[in-house]
Structure 1
Amino acid sequence: MQYKNGLMGTLLFAGVAGVMTLAAPAAHAADGHVVLYSANDDTVNKLIADGFKKETGITVDVVSTGSGVLFRRVISEQGNPQGDVVWGVSAALLKQNSKYFDAHAVKGADQVPAQYRDPNNLWIGTNLQVAVIAQNTKSIDPAKGPKSWEDLMDPQWKGKLVYTDPANSGFSYATASGLLGAWGDNDAAWAKVKKLIANTKVLNRSTLVFDGNGTGEYPLGISLEYAGYLWAHNGAPVKVIYPADGTVALAEGAAVIKGGPNTANARALVDFLASKPTEEMLLKSTFRRPARQDVALTDTGGMPPLAQIKLLPYDDAKWEAARTDTLRKLKDLIQETR
């Protein structure tokens, strides 16, 4: 079977003309524009820009880059903000930078679990990223694959399992730190993480993990939920495994930038991003799990409700504060186990 040009060639990662990159747009004071600082990929940005334009007549000028770069920009522009909305960034970063946001009460916010939104309405989660194990069932019999993180430590999976370098991937860092926390955040926990990492081939980019698992180059991947369902939708023999010992689900969200040039339009855009129809559209188009719990998970290939997934508690503030030291230790483990 011919798969559709890898994940980079599918809906999520295709380059789309007309979506701006880091070049700064002019700050539009006119009614017809809003400036979106987005860490999402260009295809997702275009879906939003096109949908919002159709619904409101307002043009979305997108600045698209990594979340760290976006927030450095927000901070540097605080005396003269050029952006109106920030979106597609982690709840941890939204919490850290909430002083740069205006409070905005989104209609229907009560449909988002409390842990995935700000109690003072400074930001709201729009989608959830769930760490999973992705199994290529052509390479490994569906009944004989791993069922848990602990199973991945079995010597039989050494060299067959891929993982993104946590220094380059927020979800990889969250997975490792979430497991450390669940296993006690002590020397014994670090020993277990070392055993798990010893079985992995560490790649530089998440898309290499997604693509390698989808094509069968790597039978197993420590992956993200949406990528597995997208590959399966495109015809690849990929099975999404929710580890029996629990996993992490982290919110990505949106906020109105304080003092931006188009405040009214910014509020309208955040309402649009957090709305039920928009989250339904992104689920259908990109398999991104909605933060809203009133969105039916239909036509997703079996994506379970959040309540059916065993979730590990995750202290994002703690692990964000410990990021530098934790990444250094993880780097040492990777080097020691090569």
Structure 2
Amino acid sequence: MKRLPACLATLALAVVGTVTSAMAASDHVVLYSANDDTVNKLVADGFKQSTGITVNVISTGSGVLFRRIASEQGNPQADVVWGVSAALLKQNGKYFQPYAVKGREAVPELYRDPNNLWVGTNIQVVTINRNSKAIPDADAPKRWEDLLDAKWKGRIAYTDPANSGFSYAAATALLQAWGDNDAAWQKFGKLVANTKVLNRSTLVFDGNGSGEYPLGISLEYAGNLWAHNGAPVEVGYPADGTVALAEGAAIIKGGPDLENAQKLIDYLASKPTQEMLLKATFRRPARQDVDLSAVGKMPAFKEIKVLPYDDAKWEAARADTLRRLKTTIQETR
């Protein structure tokens, strides 16, 4: 067989190299998300339009996602995990690839990892939402302790903390604020005695919006969404403080495509994306450089009194605390 001239051999190698590089370049990224389908679609469509990269979304509960990530540790199948609590992100740092997300300085230090293992993308604020048709402004409760009044018995919707992360956080934040002792548990028992304990958060949101339950221990975005859709719902920020929990994103260590993972997490944390999600879904951005006026009466984060909250402590004590919460709820029925 005749040898190729040197110049043609060099050209052939260059062509092979170019083809190999093109074949290696990925046009998709895999996202594990605990967010709902509406949010996932907004982000997948926006990222595709911005970068040309397809987001393959696998969506389920955050606990399921992390069990999956753990089982796949030897051969990761996803690039990014998103929409999970800061508590879970802190606990699972060993699965994450450090990356300094663009614009991370706009996120408060409390809501991002000091070693760049994860970054907060939105903040869930627990609120006392009120149906203003059922309860006029003058009678609105202003503090958590106001809910202990017997006049509210049966008029407050509350999600079973065994079924809801934010409901568990609300309970434990109040227990912590009230002293984390037997007296605090007795006080919480008085509050929960006035509630209707429901199995799903959506039942609280819907019941509050429809007026079935005049008050709801709820989330900020849910009240704003109902109000936007025409329901007489007012979002209440307790004067004695409340809990604000970050949800965020992280790159999975050893995932199929690190370059696209970095692009995706930059996109999720970017100002335009968080502005889009704020306007479409009323999710409070973790970034503090986003103008909130586009969604009406949402106060700046610095204007909300946030209670100190030891999420690591309460996550570690979850099983025992849930057992005691269950007993407390049962004793008040």
Fold equivalence (TM over 0.5) = yes
Structure 1 residue corresponding to 2:72, chosen from 67, 71, 77: 77
Show CA shifts across 1:41-75 (max 9, x none): 00000000000000000000000000000000000
Show CA shifts across 1:289-315 (max 9, x none): 000000010121200001100110011
Q: Secondary structure at the match of 1:79?
A: coil
* Count of paired positions: 311
Extract unaligned runs of 5+ from structure 1.
1-27
Aligned to 2:277: 282
Aligned to 1:246: 241
Aligned to 1:124: 119
Root-mean-square deviation (CA, aligned residues, Å) is 1.0
Extract unaligned runs of 5+ from structure 2.
1-22
One-letter amino acid matched to 2:323: R
- Mapped to 2, the partners of 1:191 and 1:109 lie a distance apart of 41
One-letter amino acid matched to 1:63: I
Query: Larger helix proportion, structure 1 or 2?
Result: 2
Aligned to 1:31: 26
- Mapped to 2, the partners of 1:316 and 1:76 lie a distance apart of 25
Is the counterpart of residue 162 in structure 1 residue 162 in structure 2?
no
Aligned to 2:133: 138
Structure 1 residue corresponding to 2:59, chosen from 55, 61, 64: 64
- Mapped to 2, the partners of 1:95 and 1:273 lie a distance apart of 19
Show CA shifts across 1:88-122 (max 9, x none): 00000000001000001011111100000000000
| CA radius of gyration, larger in | 2
Q: Secondary structure at the match of 1:318?
A: helix
Task: Compute the TM-score of the two structures, normalised by the length of structure 1.
Answer: 0.91
Aligned to 2:329: 334
Question: What is the percentage of aligned positions where both structures have the same residue?
Answer: 76
Is the counterpart of residue 89 in structure 1 residue 49 in structure 2?
no
- Mapped to 2, the partners of 1:219 and 1:268 lie a distance apart of 44
Write out the 4+ residue segments of structure 1 that deviate beyond 3 Å after TM superposition: none
- Mapped to 1, the partners of 2:268 and 2:180 lie a distance apart of 36
One-letter amino acid matched to 1:261: P
Aligned to 2:94: 99
- Mapped to 2, the partners of 1:320 and 1:301 lie a distance apart of 34
- Mapped to 1, the partners of 2:147 and 2:25 lie a distance apart of 55
Shift of 1:262: 1.1
- Mapped to 1, the partners of 2:27 and 2:102 lie a distance apart of 22
One-letter amino acid matched to 2:311: D
- Mapped to 1, the partners of 2:323 and 2:92 lie a distance apart of 24
Aligned to 1:20: none
- Mapped to 2, the partners of 1:103 and 1:140 lie a distance apart of 49
Aligned to 2:257: 262
Shift of 1:142: 1.7
Task: Compute the TM-score of the two structures, normalised by the length of structure 2.
Answer: 0.92
